[in-house]
Structure 1
Amino acid sequence: MSTDSQQKTKHSPVLEFKSSTFSVPVLVLASNDVMTIEQQLQDKVNLAPEFFKNSPLVFDLQELNKHDLDIDVAELTKIIRKLGLLPIGIRGGGAQQNQQALKLGIPVHSGHTVAASSETQKQQAPEPEPEPKSQTVAATTTMITHPVRSGQRIYASGDLIILAQVSAGAEILAEGNIHVYGSLRGRALAGVQGNTEARIFCSDLQAELISIAGNYKVSEDLNGVVLNQHVQIYLQNHTLVIKDM
């Protein structure tokens, strides 16, 4: 290599930070009973094992701290990891909880940090305005217009519509229905929170895995499916049915 080439390589950047948006499930806790948390979390995992397998997870302690319910972050982290989930962040934690998380190598999302106790919070700030009684937000439809590439993971809290292909190695998940107007070669999981009425619609089924409410089939089970055909997939008697449209 010439001297000029060596100098150019030496001063050329070999890495770059870019901002990016991606969806990560958030575990919001309303109780500090670790036994109940473990049991109910296990039940959720059992509903969609392929979705939760090695899934990143942020746990939110804001509701607990609002009601002065303390929880051992180390024990909670142990439970989460035991069930095959990967905690990557804490949200809504108090100072001591955040410190515990950092010692475990878990980043703190400081934008949602709350005071260590409600009494301290009262001293630091005036009483907040009463919140509306209804906090329910209707699930919306997420639309993706570009191809979903290998390694990408998309999660929708309502229906998910993709106007392009889903590549092998990609994963798309929705609490509602999934529509893919292109080839589906990756993994598609609909009704991931247990919605047995959810369906998957696609133009060309070549998936590695399809799942509805935790009931799934892998590519080996799809050998008899006609390619390049519009199909819908739904759940009937706990069995996935694939039907031409």
Structure 2
Amino acid sequence: MTQDSTRAAAAHSPIRLRGRAHPFLTLDIADLEPEALEQALASRLAGTASFFRHAPVLLDLGALPADAGPRVAGLVEAVRRMGLVPAAFRARWPEVERAALAAGLGRMLEPEPRQDLAAPCDRRPTVIVSEPVRSGQRIYAAEADLVVLHSVSPGAQLLADGCIHVYGALRGSASAGIGDDPHARIFAKIMDAEMLSIAGLWLSAEEVPSEWVKRPAQLAIRDGWLRFSPLP
């Protein structure tokens, strides 16, 4: 096959294989039994399970000891029973890694060396949404900040690797810093969200302090916790 014919075949290939960062929900799993994991998930997802149903999940198995391999399949099934979709994993021990692969999980591909989160990261141009975000819509700003100039309806989802700014009412869910950026923030003219998340830490509507509900506010990570503060 000539070089030109190879290029032509590639141009008409029915598939494309590309590497790209995707917003996986990360679940850190401690050294516990599948039944205990299912109970903990049921408690943690109470009231917000609909937001995460069918969401792809990265299972961080780094806390499991080397002899936990026989439990991995049960842990994966417990996650599935809660409506989540276990898709990939991280593991510390080869025995756990082999069990995760046998359970149908993919090994997470990550760049090496890992990004220094203390340093500012490069961003693509800000994604600006000029229309109201309707229920059922899902907007993801990959490697960028997200700005919404109108309101966000209940049932809508905003996701960004950077910060999220909403210049109207934020009534859906918002997940900022989903590439594990702890410096990301969420800003809203009217904070009335169903779920808020920054770099894997999240709050349901019931966990938002009443003094910040339906008020102008920003959310950031401080001292390892999600904390609200007024807009400037």
TM-score range, shorter chain: 0.5 to 0.7
Letter paired with 1:25: L
TM-score by length of 2: 0.53
What CA deviation, in whole Å up to 9, does each residue of 1:53-109 have, x standing for no partner? 22211112222237x555511101110000111000121154343333333322123
> In structure 2, the residue corresponding to 1:72 is in which secondary structure?
helix
User: Is 1:215–2:202 an aligned residue pair?
Assistant: no
Letter paired with 1:53: R
Query: Quick one: distance in 2 between partners of 1:103 and 1:87?
Result: 13
Indicate how the Cα distance of structure 1 residues 108 and 19 shifts in structure 2: closer, same or farther if over 3 A, else same: closer
Indicate how the Cα distance of structure 1 residues 44 and 21 shifts in structure 2: closer, same or farther if over 3 A, else same: same
User: Is 1:29–2:13 an aligned residue pair?
Assistant: no
Q: CA RMSD in A?
A: 5.0
User: Is 1:146–2:134 an aligned residue pair?
Assistant: no
Indicate how the Cα distance of structure 1 residues 82 and 89 shifts in structure 2: closer, same or farther if over 3 A, else same: same
* TM alignment of 1:152-167, pairs within 5 A: 152-153=139-140, 162-164=146-148
Letter paired with 1:84: G
Cα displacement (A) at 1:24 = 1.3
> In structure 1, the residue corresponding to 2:65 is in which secondary structure?
helix
* TM alignment of 1:94-243, pairs within 5 A: 94-109=93-108, 145-147=126-128, 151-153=138-140, 162-164=146-148, 171-172=157-158, 179-181=165-167, 187-189=172-174, 201-202=188-189, 210-211=194-195, 213-215=203-205, 236=210, 241-242=213-214
> In structure 1, the residue corresponding to 2:214 is in which secondary structure?
strand
Contact 2:127 2:147 in 1 (8 A): yes
Contact 2:72 2:100 in 1 (8 A): yes
> 2:38 matched to which residue of 1?
38
Unpaired runs of 5+ residues, structure 1, are 1-7, 113-136, 192-197, 217-233
> 1:86 matched to which residue of 2?
85
Cα displacement (A) at 1:36 = 2.4
Paired residues, number: 178
Indicate how the Cα distance of structure 1 residues 110 and 31 shifts in structure 2: closer, same or farther if over 3 A, else same: same
Contact 1:25 1:57 in 2 (8 A): yes
Contact 1:51 1:189 in 2 (8 A): no
Contact 1:183 1:202 in 2 (8 A): yes
Greater CA radius of gyration, 1 or 2?
Answer: 1
Letter paired with 2:205: N
What is the percentage of aligned positions where both structures have the same residue?
21
Indicate how the Cα distance of structure 1 residues 59 and 82 shifts in structure 2: closer, same or farther if over 3 A, else same: same
